[in-house]
Each structure stands twice: as structure tokens, then as C-alpha cells.
Structure 1
């Protein structure tokens, strides 16, 4: 069958005693086709017991920079001291237009910026979280951000985030502490229970990798999944919930879209350019 992600299966391995697990897999999402999204794609998903989302962010930053070093320099650093020295040299990926000229340069030099979700939105509009629903929708109309009248407030906010922040961010940015409605499988933040301990890595105007401090409370997980199932008409995964009741250790988890990462590192402007057999629209006769 076509699966959305291997997440629930890998977490059962954590319950079974494995401390580090990963899978390089094919996933399917019943979503639209664009130059940045294909319904079937390759994903690296990994979980690390007793880590958190910040440690996973460090891991992803190191991994992507290592790949970029190999691509740009043609070889991997032979030892950690060499890698540290070379990081002082700007690590850049050039994206070129159809005529071959450089249209965008992405700077991958570490450390990468980290900022909270709400702080980034306040940079766009300081009063955003004090507005009523009608005021938020009016601001969206002023900005040209299209929204559906049936959208909840958090969905309207996410639409603004995607159009005015995500799509305009090119150098690496870890967006942290997102609303819990967006990530039902992540651990609740201890200081603000409306947020969860997550990051979303944005590079070149698109998400490259999400990372979580994983939720391991079976009662809270059931409640979150019930809320999501009610909204999307899905059945609960009772096998996964039963596994959680046996005890899953605190853990950090990541997903990395391999196709999008390849786009980033090669300068490709369409996901079709990095896939062997991309899904195409039927030819019209």
C-alpha cells in the first residue's frame, strides 16, 4: 500500500529497545504536483532516543554542510579539525537561470539562524497575534495572501507564514516552537502548552527537513490523534497507541526530503530534474 511516512513503525522500534533507527524510504502524499512537490518522493527518516529537537537540528546542519562540502570541494574533510577550518570559508551553492547566469546564491555557512515561529510573524506584523479573526483576514487581503473562508485561525496564520516568510527565505533558517495544531506527534513545550518543541528547516524558499522532540505520552497522543482524525476522517492507529502504553523513551526525530535536498545541492529549479521517473501530466492531443 502507499504510505505517508514510516514514522509510527520506527517509533515502535524505539519502544522495543532500539536507541537509533533510520529508514531511507519512498513516501506518497495525495497532494498537488508542482516544481517543488511530487506526490511520490524519497525521504530519510530517523529517530534518536534521549535526544531532542535541538540536538536533531545540530545533526541535520552538520549533515547538510558535510554534503555541500563534498559537492563544492570535491572531497570530504579528512578529520574534524580540517572541517572546522574549512567552515570559515563561505560555503555557497549557486542556482542558475535558463541562460546560465547566477540568479541566486545560497549561503550555507554555519551557524544557521534559529528563530521562533511567532517571532518571525511579528517581524511581518507586530500586532498579528492580538488581532481578531476578521482583522487577520483583512490583513491577508491587503497582502494578497489567499485564504479559504473555512480556515481556522491557526491555518490562516500558517498560510501567511508560508507566503510571506517561507517562500522568501533562501539562506538556512530553523523555525522553532510551532503551534501544536500543526504537529500532532510532537512534544508539548513546557513553558507554553500552545506550542510544541519542533523545528522546520527552510532553505531556498521551501521546507527541507522537519524535526521534533517526539511526544511519548500515550494519553496525550490519543487525544491529539482523535482531534486530527475528527478533522480529516481518519482511523486511529491502535497498534501504535498500544505500543506507546508500553513506554517509548524521550526521543528526537527528523525527516529529510532527499529530492528537495538534491535540488538544493545541484541548483535544480524543478523537482522533476532530480527524479528518475517523475509524475507528469498526460499529453493533450
Structure 2
């Protein structure tokens, strides 16, 4: 924040000039920051809509009161553009006819100031809906200059660090974040209408589980115990179903993973996770298609949108394809026939896929898929039959124990959803947890430990169920044509600027 130094108030520094104007306003009219309210009866957008048929040059007897930020000052304050959360409206003051105190206040206004205005509506001869003001109230003085008109488009780092200024300057930023809200609302409405119960689960975990990711660590002083920020909501949500709170639960919330930052990754991000008893992953496919298509309708009034010049069609049903078939189509190799880990690694190497010596057979096959197939999945596609070795919380097919009853949904080459028929055998789950704990002991920071509380809950009796997770941020990116995740998160994680 800029520090205002009174001794510089007469200089040319913009902040000092604004401080000088504030001092003059305070002396003449009182401190604007002492104003607590303004009767804002109207919005700019509503006024434009209500009077869209008003002919050019016509006056009305309609009284209106708006409030917002001064975005333009023309002709010594005769014309102002005021921006509220719905749009802009032109305000007119006849400088020669207004009271002297109003003329004085207009001369002390700056771009960015917050004002309340009241008057009557007309449409100018040039066709601009205008508020002829007879009352002007300064509600807050902007002590820092706003960005220039296109500043937000040029300086990306500035936009993300000062989102409040970006929102004022960039209409697309406002539209994107508002569409995000519409998408979340559509997901919530679709699930509520189908009998799902929205719940909340802990963010602080004694054992971070439900995913393979490196957690953020913290410490609880009063209990004197280490804790992790959650990397998934899965295990607690399952425990609520086990307890019979509801057979259908969901949570929309933040997850935290101490990993890299990229155009598709932010250390904290939002997901919707849901679980439904007595169904399998086939029902989760239907729910995925419902939520994605309803999200698209919420912002596009249909099931298609354009991303980076490509039309994406979210009309159900989506394409389905086996992971192994997709790899074979791209490489000519059927990895179902390659049984041993070393043979899979050798084939992956031949295909030019880097192989981590610590990876098992399933992880190598996953890497081959990522290297050869992912980028080709432009239209929504459910990728079925993932290796069981990379699906420790999923059931395997009885006749194919190395293949999970699981799918991932891809679009534009990105994974946007992950779901499976949930494993409910506590004995097998313990073995899977123990294998992950061994990886953790061997130095893998992403491998979770053994969650004894969840295993105890499973042992109490867990019904068969389907589970689904959808990445809200990536879905919003697709539906708003945003090229980076930072566009769809109001305040993305950034490295602090060095002094």
C-alpha cells in the first residue's frame, strides 16, 4: 500500500495529489470515509434493460440512484462513467447550473473514486442512456491510481497480484469469475435435486489420504501434533455414508497439494467429490455427464462451447474407450499381453517414454498413456479400465484382477473427472495402504500412510458404492475459454515480490 506523506501533498506524485484532494474534500464536506451507507436503489444493467426502448433525445421523469466507481471523467466532471457490479452508466452534471459545492466536488474527483449519484434518466441525442444528476455523494476516495485501460491485458503478473484492479479494468475477468459461480451453482442444484446431501469434512488431517500427492504440513500447538492440509475429501465422505448420514453425499471444497505450478495446476484448487451407496462406476458415468453438461448449459445455454477455437460438445453420452485400446491404437502395442513390470518398462522405453525405476507396472502403463494418448482426447471421453496398481481405493474386475472398475474423463487433453466402484473390503484396503506406506518409507513423498481410522470405519461395514471427483477449476477453464488456471481462480498462488 502506498504511504501518503503530507509534506509531499503539493508535489506531482499521483498518490500525494490524491491525498491533497482528500484533505480539501474533508475540509469542505467532511471525511468521506465516515459515510456509512447510500440508498442504491438501481443497477446500471437494470436501468439499461428497463429503458432499452427509450428513443434518442427523450427525457423521463424516472428517478434513479446508483453507486459505483468512477471510470471516466470528461469535460471537467460534466460527464462521468460510473461502474457498478452490473455495468456502466453515464452521469451528467450541467457544470454551469450545478451548485458551487457540487462543482467543487467534481473538480476534486479522481478516477477510481466511489460515488453515489441520484437524478433523472434520459437518452442523449447520440443515444447514450444518461443519469442527469442532482445529487452527488463521495463514498470513498481512491488513494491509489487505477490501472490504465488495458493495463490488465498487458501485465499478467499485475493482474493476478492485484485482482481487484484487474476486475475493474478487465470485463473478461469479471465474466469468468461470475461464470465460475454459475457453474458451481449448477453442480450444486443438479445434485440437490437428485437427493444428494451436501456436507463438510475436515481440512486438517492427521493422515493425508484419498489421493497420491505431497501434502502441506502444519502443526497444532494446543494438541502438539503434526497435521496435513487435506489432499482429498474421499475418506471422510465415505465414513459419512458408512455411518448412514445419507446414501448420497457430496462436498465442494478446496484441496491442497504441495506440488508444482503450471497452467493447469495451482497448489490449492477446488473439487466436487460425491459418493452414492449401492451403485457402481456406471452410475458415476451418468452423474459425470449430467454435471458437466448442466455446467455448460449454465453459462452457454446449451451443451457446446468453444475453447481455443475448437468446439467442444458436452452432449451426453460421451465417448467411452478402454485405456489399453487407446494405447494400442496409437502405438500398436497391447499392454494387456505384457505381464511383467520389466517387460512393460522395456516396451515403454522403446516408445520413447521415460521410465522411473521406482514405478510399478501400472504406473509405467499410465506414463505411456500420458505420453501417447492424452493430448489426442479433445472431445469428452471416458477412459475405462485403468490398471489396478494405480487404483488402490477402487475395486478390480473379478475376472481381470489387474484392471480397476474405474474411469477418468478427458477433454482437450486434460483429465477433468475420476471415478470408480469403491473398494469396500477392509482386508484388501489394508494391504493397499501397506504397499503405499512401504513406498513412503522408501522415499516417495507423495505416497500416503495408513489411515487406521478409515480402516476401522470400513471394518464396521461399508456398502458398495460409486465415487466421483471433478476438478472445478479445469472445468471452468474449458467452459470460459481460459488458457491458464490462474484466470479462473480469484487469487492464485504467486511467489511474493522481493522488496
Per-residue CA distance 1:200-243 (angstroms, 9 max, x = gap) = 01111111110110000010110111111111234311111011
Query: Which residue matches 2:466?
Result: 252
SS at 2:405 equivalent: strand
SS at 1:193 equivalent: strand
Displacement of 1:21 in angstroms is: 0.8
Displacement of 1:147 in angstroms is: 3.4
In structure 1, how many angstroms separate the alpha carbons of the residues matched to 2:279 and 2:498? 51
In structure 2, how many angstroms separate the alpha carbons of the residues matched to 1:272 and 1:110? 29
Contact 1:19 1:49 in 2 (8 A): yes
Displacement of 1:133 in angstroms is: 4.1
Query: Which residue matches 1:69?
Result: 297
In structure 2, how many angstroms separate the alpha carbons of the residues matched to 1:159 and 1:168? 15
SS at 1:231 equivalent: helix
In structure 1, how many angstroms separate the alpha carbons of the residues matched to 2:294 and 2:428? 37
In structure 2, how many angstroms separate the alpha carbons of the residues matched to 1:106 and 1:115? 18
Query: Which residue matches 1:13?
Result: 240
Q: Please state if 1:236 is matched with 2:462.
A: no
| Structure 1 residues 276 and 139, CA gap change in structure 2 (3 angstroms) | same
Per-residue CA distance 1:154-212 (angstroms, 9 max, x = gap) = 32221121122112211001011111111100011122011110110111111111011
In structure 1, how many angstroms separate the alpha carbons of the residues matched to 2:345 and 2:242? 45
Displacement of 1:61 in angstroms is: 0.2
Q: Please state if 1:175 is matched with 2:391.
A: no
Query: Which residue matches 1:139?
Result: 350
| Structure 1 residues 30 and 162, CA gap change in structure 2 (3 angstroms) | same
- From 298, 319, 324, the equivalent of 1:118 is 324
In structure 1, how many angstroms separate the alpha carbons of the residues matched to 2:270 and 2:305? 22
Range with bigger deviation, 64-73 or 257-266: 64-73
Contact 1:128 1:136 in 2 (8 A): no
Query: Which residue matches 1:81?
Result: none
Displacement of 1:53 in angstroms is: 0.5
Larger radius of gyration: 2
Query: Which residue matches 1:77?
Result: none
Query: Which residue matches 1:153?
Result: 361
In structure 2, how many angstroms separate the alpha carbons of the residues matched to 1:46 and 1:199? 15
- Between the two proteins, the alignment pairs up a number of residues equal to 260
In structure 1, how many angstroms separate the alpha carbons of the residues matched to 2:349 and 2:242? 47
Q: Please state if 1:31 is matched with 2:259.
A: yes
Q: Which has the higher contact order (CA 8 A, sep 6+)?
A: 1
Q: How does 1:149-228 map to 2 (within 5 A)?
A: 149-228=357-436
SS at 1:219 equivalent: helix
In structure 1, how many angstroms separate the alpha carbons of the residues matched to 2:400 and 2:470? 27
Displacement of 1:109 in angstroms is: 2.6
TM-score of the superposed pair, with normalisation by structure 2? 0.50
Structure 1 residue ranges without an equivalent (≥5):
74-85, 97-101
Structure 2 residue ranges without an equivalent (≥5):
1-203, 205-228, 442-447
- From 295, 298, 311, the equivalent of 1:105 is 311
